[in-house]
Amino acid sequence: MKLGTLLSMAAMAVMGMGLALPAQAADPIKIGVYLPLTGQNAFGGQLELEGIQLAHKLKPTVLDRPVELVVVDNKSDKVEAANAVKRLTEHEKVLAIIGTYGSSLAMAGGEVAERAKVPVIGTSCTNPLVTQGKKYYFRACFIDPYQGAAAATYAYKNLGYKKAAVLTDVANDYAVGLSNFFKKTFKKIGGELVADMKYSSGDQDFTAQLTELISKKPDIVFMPAYFAEGAIIMKQARELGATFVLMGADAMDNPDTLKIGGKAVEGFLHTTFPYDVNMENMSAEAKTFTDAWKKNFPNKDPNVNSALGYNCYNIILDALTRAGKADTEALTAALAATKNLPTALGVLSINETHDAEMPVGIIKYMDGKRKYIGDAIAE
């Protein structure tokens, strides 16, 4: 009798006795990834995916089983984001999901994941609504209330600016939330808000808004834009003779900010996650990530999006190791219990609202280069 036949008969005998066969060591643990790999937010999504793939390359197994990444493009679209999570949960049967860049995309996908009871860890989705009221959605980044408050505190207390204005993309949840938190904190700590200007995603001409801002004479203008529009705003502001300082948020942390903005970027500030390839006093975990990135991507530097993707993968593997089994509920509980985990972005804990507690970094563009100048603490 052939060996295969004997094994089949043995398996049938075990099942006949009411015993379940153990998972084979080769059975993969499937982790889904949904990111904007095309569309408006593609550059950030691609960087995060590269960070995830790098982490997977360095740690391809957990619980003595291989990890399989299942990647779906959410196309920078809310409907596609929901569809991507549905595919990952219903058809791919993933154990966990990483994603996504873009808070509005995360909110759309999060509703589907919540119904499916599959844990998700967000990369750079900073709007508080992403995790609000969710059992299964977590994130590896700080949230906009803290980021916006930190930006306002830094502008008022560290830089000494007393008059501020905001320029907000009203069609973007991320931008609206950040502007609101900046305004609230700036006024609370004694600053004066002299203008509150608006535009919509896709706009190319900001002359009217910038002319109005110039007339109000703010010391600083907070504009939590995505990098492409933010760079255009900076160029047009300088062409109009604006002398106020421009400040953005983490969505401006992109190599193309400098490429598109050119000389207009000089003096620009933005909040970011606490990592930079040239930062001083780099932690051991940040150095491991940086060295691995340079080895695998020798022609481009890593940025915070890459580090966030890298972190998300490692946070899931850490939680799985502590859970001791590949089970969605056990993994969810372990993610919620994540405390003082050393990561490429500093020591990270997940709090009771499923948000990461971590510092806020500040970047300044000087002499045609970006420089990590320190951390900001919200008032």
pLDDT digits (tens, 9 = 90+) for 345-365: 989 999 999 999 888 899 999
Q: Cα–Cα–Cα angle for 130, 151, 254, nearest 5°?
A: 70
Non-local (6+) Cβ contacts of 164 within 8 A are: 152, 155, 156, 182, 186, 191, 192, 193, 194, 218, 219, 220, 221, 222
The total of other beta-carbon atoms located within 10 Å of residue 158's CB is: 13
pLDDT tens, N- to C-terminus, the chain (379 residues): 444 444 444 444 444 444 444 445 569 999 999 999 999 999 899 999 999 999 999 999 999 999 999 999 999 999 999 999 999 999 999 999 999 999 999 999 999 999 999 999 999 998 889 999 999 999 999 888 889 999 999 999 999 999 999 999 999 888 999 999 999 999 999 999 999 999 999 999 999 999 999 999 999 999 999 888 999 999 999 999 999 999 999 889 888 888 889 999 999 999 998 899 988 888 999 999 999 999 999 999 898 899 999 999 999 999 999 999 999 999 999 999 999 999 999 899 999 999 998 888 999 999 999 899 988 888 7
Query: Which residue in this structure is represented by tokens 């360095």?
Result: 58
56-102 pLDDT, tens per residue? 999 999 999 999 999 999 999 999 999 999 999 999 999 999 999 99
DSSP string, 297-350: -TTS---HHHHHHHHHHHHHHHHHHHH-S--HHHHHHHHHT--SEEETTEEEEE
The total of other beta-carbon atoms located within 10 Å of residue 268's CB is: 24
Quote the DSSP letter at residue 245: E
Please state the length of the chain. Answer: 379
Instruction: Tell me which residue of 168, 206, 226 sits closest to 39, measured CA to CA.
Output: 226
- Say what the pTM is: 0.77
Cα–Cα distance for residue pair 302/50, rounded to 1 Å: 9
The total of other beta-carbon atoms located within 10 Å of residue 337's CB is: 12
CATH-assigned architecture of domain 145-272: 3-Layer(aba) Sandwich (3.40)
Q: Which CATH class is domain 29-142+283-359?
A: alpha beta
Domain ranges of the chain: 29-142+283-359, 145-272
Please check whether the two domains, 29-142+283-359 and 145-272, share a CATH topology.
Answer: yes
The pLDDT, as a whole number, for residue 18 is 41
The answer to whether 354 and 128 are in contact (CB under 8 A) is no
